Amino acid sequence: MSNNLLEVKNLKKSFGGIQAVDIKELIFNKNELTSIIGPNGAGKTTFFDLISGFQTADSGDVFLNGGDITNSQPYKIARMGMIRTFQLTKVFDRMTVLENLMFSGSSVKNDSLTKSIFKTRKQKNYERDLKDKSFEVMEELNISHMANSYARELSGGQKKLLELARSIINNPDTLLLDEPLAGVNPKLAEDLLDLIQKLASGGISILMVEHNIEAVMKISERIVVLSEGTLIADGTPSKIRNDKNVIEAYLGKDDE
């Protein structure tokens, strides 16, 4: 149990007659960069939704650090240190980049209605520190020059950066990245990859869904392959590259 980050057992989810996810057993290790790949409709995003609480499972169990989080509320799972991003980037459009980050970094206590009415000194100090912290994260991701732009004015790639910045501001233990490179130009994709690798080596466990096979092969320590909701392969990049099932179901098909 000690090295298990996330344990999934007999996890099932179907939509109508379609079995979206059906995983018997899957264990993710701490401090590992694991990618989840598979053809479109393989259930990767549904799997993310299930373990982050955004969809309820039909049956099965999910454990995070040994604790049962099956069908917990998303915000509760996030508070346990597992933060996710979305395939279609979800930034707060009509708030500035700085506000996006400050909201995400702010503690629940700091957000309270009574504290906001009385505007305590404590809150003021907290907000000042939070602003500094937000700028630190923005510097790290090279978006500090856009601090006062509204998020909706950002390009697709910049929004991905903002979402990532928002996710790491509270130093999570675990990141679930849903297609972090989708729709990003090659240069920025390179930067994002470096960043993800840097985060991983900094001690954050990362699960990543991604279609860019080159990138996945390059940075993953382990790759899990899903097809039609089930696990068809699991191993190191070199092992996956030569796996017959994977080539048949995914790699061979949309030869990129």
Contacts of 184 (CB under 8 A, 6+ apart): 156, 157, 160, 192
User: What is the C-alpha separation between 210 and 182, in angstroms, rounded?
Assistant: 8
Would you count residue 70 as binding other proteins (CB under 8 A)?
no
Q: Site size for other proteins, by CB under 8 A?
A: 39
Closer of 135 and 150 to other proteins (Cβ): 150
Would you count residue 241 as binding other proteins (CB under 8 A)?
no
Q: Which stretch binds other proteins (CB under 8 A): 25-33, 117-125, 192-200, 222-230?
A: 117-125
Place of tokens 């993953």: 220
Q: Which stretch binds other proteins (CB under 8 A): 35-43, 87-95, 180-188, 227-235?
A: 87-95
Cα maximum dimension of the chain = 64
Q: Which stretch binds other proteins (CB under 8 A): 37-45, 79-87, 133-141, 202-210?
A: 79-87
Residue 186, Ramachandran bin (φ over 0: left; ψ between -120 and 50: alpha; else beta): alpha
Would you count residue 78 as binding other proteins (CB under 8 A)?
yes
Q: Which stretch binds other proteins (CB under 8 A): 6-14, 69-77, 193-201, 243-251?
A: 69-77
Would you count residue 135 as binding other proteins (CB under 8 A)?
no
Closest CA to 51 of 14, 88, 83: 83
Other beta carbons within 10 Å of 185: 12
Let me know if 132 is exposed, middle or buried by CB neighbors in 10 A (0-12, 13-18, 19+).
exposed
Q: Which residues bind other proteins (CB under 8 A)?
A: 52-54, 73-75, 78-79, 83-86, 90-95, 99-100, 102-104, 106, 108, 110-113, 115-117, 119, 123, 127, 148, 150, 166, 170
